[in-house]
Structure 1
Amino acid sequence: MIKVNTSILEGKKHIHFIGIGGSGMYPLAQILHAKGYYLTGSDNNETETLDAVRKMGIPVYLGQRAENIEGADLIVHTAAIMADNPELIASKASGVPVLERSELLGIVTSWYENAICVSGTHGKTTTTSMITQILHTEGIDISAFIGGKLPCIGGSGKAGSSDILVCEACEFVDTFLKLYPDTSVILNIDADHLDYFGTLDNIIASFRKFAEKTSKTLIVNADDANTMKAVAGIENKNIITFGTSSSCDYYPANINRPSGTQAKYELMHKGEKLCDVTINVPGEHNILNSVAAAAAAHSAGASPEFITKGLEEFGGAKRRFEIIGKKNDITVADDYAHHPAELTVTLNAAMQMGYKNVWAVFQPFTFSRTSMLLDDFAKALSIPDKVVLTNIMGSREKNTYNIFTKDLADKIDGCIYFDKEKKAVQTNECKQADFDTVTDYLCEHAAPGDLIITLGCGDVYKVAKAVYNKLK
């Protein structure tokens, strides 16, 4: 089991964050800043997150250089920072303790009596946000660490005074094994990050370690065979099940869908009605996410009244089927989906919402995932009416897989991408397709009644905002 030195922050005053604009760094910065630590940070690109960091009074350096770490007595970096990064090299040579982001998050979870850690291949951010919304609406002064922005807490993190932390727990390179969960939610287990895990069995084994590390309660998806395999035979834990069957501890009954973006159901607990629930986020998957969130919030002390109120007020986390706006009767949305299973549920939901055409604008993320799940991506991206692809965002990887956008586009009928002359094509190897080109194409070809939804965990959200601004 992975061990983290939880005492390493003792006596530390100045913490420097390399890559402070990252989705996993910003909420940590919020919590530590609220706890009284002096923070500095650096990043390579201007983003809305960096603006938010600066508004907290945290100095941020644009560009990563050795001198940025001056004065720090603890340095934190994201997993995406390459080994040859000059700031990271200087940090490791400085003699100052250096932590990877997930190690610091592990330490933070150890500070709380009830750290609710939400895991699963899909749905973590939405479910973590739903739990946070319910408990916040109840008036419990929780702390939170979310992989997306939640309007009710004004960001992706919150430092509260209670003993409850709601925390997203990511399985990537086993980072969730560095956490100290008191209550764990396992939403589902699917084949992902195969460049690290190798096989689905290895992923299941890691989730089992995560479950075994949980000190009190496991809240698990009884509909998901891989999840149930991971927790089979585990003892000395309070195991709570959720799912669609009446055999589960928590399940939805009498589901009604007044519209494509709304669902109503009766939340059942051990065969008895607990409360009525209305959710205002689309997709079948979000019904189950909301049941999981209700189960976790209820076990943490939320009342049925505020489960109802919190879920009804939840309008989605940022980048989770987020409606950017509507102009000229064209709706523009953005979603974080970057795995075939996520694309499938998101695009199926979009296709059921009554739009004339659904335009899916997808930015593949990492060469390894694109290569290993190529056919699954092609199948998912065959769901919408129109598909536009950008280049693959390699992130932390080099293209040793010799995989290109063309390889995916060739498997999708009518798929659009761009050649070196920036012409929309369905043949020839894809060259760098800048977002301006994609934006121009969408604005020229989308029609009234259409939905344009950008998809991916990179920076493709910039296209959604650019399209909306150009239409506006």
Structure 2
Amino acid sequence: MILKKDISKLKIHFVGIGGIGISGLAKYLKAQGAQISGSDITDNNATKYLRTLGVPITIPHNKDAINNQDLIIHSAIIKPDNIELVEAQKQEILILSRKEALEFILCNKRVFSVCGAHGKSTTSAMLSAIFPEFGAIIGADTKEYGSNVREIESQSIVFEADESDKSFLNSNPYCAIVTNAEPEHMENYGHNLEIFYGAYRQFLQSASVRCINAEDPFLASLELEACKLFPSKDIFNITYALKDDEPCTRFELKDLGEFEVWGFGEHTAINASLAILSAKTEREIEEIRKNLAHFKGIKKRFDILQKGRLTIIDDYAHHPTEIKATLESVKIYSDLKSKNKIIAIWQPHKYSRLLDNLEGFQKCFEKYCDELIILPVYRAGESEISFDMEKNFGHYRPIFARRLKKVGETIELIYEDKIIKTIDEGILIGLGAGDITYQLRGEK
């Protein structure tokens, strides 16, 4: 059977190889020795990079790309009638979704699997910095090595596990690290909290070693043997500084001494502490302390795009809890830089998330946002619905814009194809998981 073969001996074709999740698997499997090919609708940075590694890429999809490979792996957005999937069926080649493929890819690996509603990408990248000899597959590009994948052959791997589609249950965790278990993506759990929490329980029970944020209400209720972090009492003396003009958090953890990590905020100290504690049985504390300094942040998480009269920061935060934590970090940065005005540009991500968390969104901008600009909801494949943003967010006196445009070192707000405002000073923070990241960079 194909799935019992050594991965390094397989020919694997990826349909939708340009996506961050699929390209990550392709890069990782190539490093393990597999013969990789792929296809997508259009070229992007991921496909261009894979070509430099010698991976043949077919643009657009074409049935001729299927030529007796051992296995086809496709992204979630690929439909069953895709021309390549149809051809693979004719050739009787095994077809797996990314979610299904994870179990096969990770089944013989020693996996440090990180999941949670918030902070999993950052925690994964920090853990990857601590273990430089491990492979890694993360949901965002880490600035340490400029990729979401550390492409080395290794029995051990740091893996960012995704709870949104239950695929974390296929990650074969040796060590399960859970940052929090706040309900999210409930549409994939039938809006049933028992099923949702049951999946987290199953994930943790499947691991040999566990490390959890024990102040999360659900995680605190579990009677499982685990390394437990109690942030309110285990993390203390948190201070913030600019080190070479970059954000730096220093904190003391339990009786392990002081640590220093890139970024700002209590959530940064919590993420780093979970990484440290999960690594403690594998590494000496001094080595952990030294290696953690290699973490330089990840793309789209407090990503400082521009410094100067106008500082521009891009952040993936798209949930009220994340937005509140990000704005707290911006406030720290503002105080250290002696800049007074914080301008938030928010692109709501999905109508379902907006409606499910409306009360949280209505409150999360209250404390640290001097001016709020709201862009249209990024639908992410959902149908448009009628929703009165002005009524629900009018208490902030926001500016509503259709899009933004980067011009030199300024940001122009556009509405009805007219410039309604130019922002040229202060700290501007972009918030959202849609295309706001490309607008801020002047790429769209």
Pair in the same fold by TM > 0.5: yes
Kindly state the Cα deviation for residue 157 of structure 1 after the two structures are TM-superposed: 1.1
Matched residues in 1 for 2:307 and 2:347: separation? 22
Q: Deviations over 1:275-303 (max 9, x none)?
A: 3201220121111001001011212x122
| Residue 225 in structure 1 maps to residue 217 in structure 2 | yes
Q: 1:194 matched to which residue of 2?
A: 186
* Alignment partner, residue 359 of structure 2: 375
User: Which of 166, 169, 188 is matched with 1:174 structurally?
Assistant: 166
**1:181, CA displacement in angstroms?**
0.6
Q: Which residue in 2 is equivalent to 1:102?
A: 99
Q: Give 1:312's aligned residue.
A: 293
* 3-state SS, counterpart of residue 27 of structure 2: helix
* Inter-partner Cα distance in structure 1 for 2:413 and 2:330: 21
Structure 2 residue 406 is the aligned partner of structure 1 residue 440: no
1:459 aligns with 2:435: yes
Q: Which runs of 5+ in 2 are unaligned?
A: none
Equivalent AA in structure 2 for residue 447 of structure 1: D
Question: 1:128 deviation in Å?
Answer: 0.4
1:233–1:79 CA distance, 2 compared to 1 (3 A) = same
Per-residue CA distance 1:435-458 (angstroms, 9 max, x = gap): 67995328952132x122222223
Q: TM-score under structure 2 normalisation? A: 0.86
User: Is 1:119 matched up with 2:115?
Assistant: yes
Q: Deviations over 1:57-116 (max 9, x none)?
A: 22223333444434433111112334554444544555211111122222222222x311
3-state DSSP of counterpart to 2:184: coil
Q: Deviations over 1:336-389 (max 9, x none)?
A: 212221111112221332233223233333332223223322322455223333
Specify the alignment match of 1:48 in structure 2: 45
Q: Is the 8 A contact 1:191 1:199 kept in 2?
A: no
Alignment of 1:351-362 (within 5 A): 351-354=331-334, 355-362=339-346
Unpaired segments of 5 or more residues in structure 1? 423-432
Mapping of 1:20-31 within 5 angstroms?
20-31=17-28
RMSD (CA atoms): 2.9
2:350 equivalent in structure 1 = 366
Q: CA deviation at 1:186?
A: 1.0
**Is 1:291 the equivalent of 2:291?**
no
CA contact (8 A) 1:120 1:189 kept: yes
Give, in angstroms, the shift of residue 392 of structure 1. Answer: 2.9
Amino acid at match of 1:446: I
Shift of 1:224: 0.9
Partner of 2:33: 36
Residue 240 of structure 2 is aligned to residue 264 of structure 1: no
The alignment partner of 1:313 has SS state of: coil
Structure 2 residue aligned with 1:430: none
* Counterpart in the other structure of 1:146: 138
The answer to whether the Cα contact below 8 Å between 1:454 and 1:463 also exists between their aligned partners in 2 is no
SS of residue in 2 equivalent to 1:441: strand
Instruction: Give yes or no for contact 1:359–1:384 (8 Å, CA) kept in 2.
Output: yes
Aligned residue number for residue 378 of structure 2: 393
Amino acid at match of 1:364: P
In 2, are the aligned partners of 1:359 and 1:388 still within 8 Å (CA)? yes
Equivalent residue, structure 1, for 2:235: 252
Cα displacement string for residues 410-446 of structure 1 (whole angstroms, at most 9, x for unaligned residues): 424233334xxx6xxxxxxxxxx48679953289521
Preserved CA contact (<8 Å) 2:9 2:33? no
Tell me: CA distance 1:166–1:10, structure 2 relative to 1, closer, same or farther (3 Å).
closer
Q: 1:15 aligns with which of 12, 16, 20?
A: 12
Deviation digits for residues 379-406 of structure 1, max 9, x if unmatched?
22455223333333333x431x7255x5
CA distance in 2, matches of 1:363, 1:63: 30
Report the Cα distance in structure 2 between the residues aligned to 1:362 and 1:61, rounded to whole angstroms.
36
Instruction: Quote how far apart the aligned CAs of 1:312 are.
Output: 2.7
Q: Distance in 1 between matches of 2:89 and 2:158?
A: 31
The aligned residue for residue 425 of structure 1 is none
Cα separation, 2, equivalents of 1:89 and 1:408? 47
Aligned pairs (5 A) from 1:384-423: 384-395=369-380, 397-399=381-383, 402-403=385-386, 406-407=388-389, 410-412=392-394, 413-418=396-401
C-alpha separation in 2, matches of 1:219 and 1:457: 27
Deviation (angstroms), 1:152: 2.7
Helix, strand or coil: the match of 1:40? strand
Normalising by structure 1, what TM-score?
A: 0.82
Rounded Cα–Cα distance in structure 2 between residues aligned with 1:388 and 1:94: 53
- AA aligned to 2:342 is V
Matched residue SS, 2:126? helix
Code of the residue aligned with 1:282 in structure 2: it is F
Residues 341 and 427, structure 2, Cα contact 8 Å, conserved in 1? yes
Greater displacement, 35-44 / 341-350: 35-44
Change (3 A) 1:303 1:409: farther
Do 1:66 and 1:86's aligned partners in 2 also have CA atoms closer than 8 Å? yes
The CA distance in 1 between the partners of 2:134 and 2:249, in whole Å, is: 27
Measure the CA separation in 2 of the matches of 1:380 and 1:86. 45
Cα distance in structure 1, aligned partners of 2:332 and 2:108: 44
Tell me whether 1:302 sits opposite 2:286 in the alignment: no
SS in 2 for 1:333: strand
Aligned-partner residue type, residue 118 of structure 2: H
Aligned residue type for 1:373? N
Structure 2 CA distance for aligned equivalents of residues 62 and 261 of structure 1: 41
Quote the residue 2:323 is aligned against.
343
Amino acid at match of 2:116: G
8 Å CA contact 1:243, 1:288 repeated in 2 = no
**Cα distance change of structure 1 residues 201 and 451 upon mapping to structure 2, 3 Å threshold:** farther
After TM superposition, give the deviation of residue 460 of structure 1 in Å: 2.1
Q: Tell me how many residue pairs correspond in the alignment.
A: 427
Q: Give distance in 2, aligned partners of 1:381 and 1:65.
A: 47
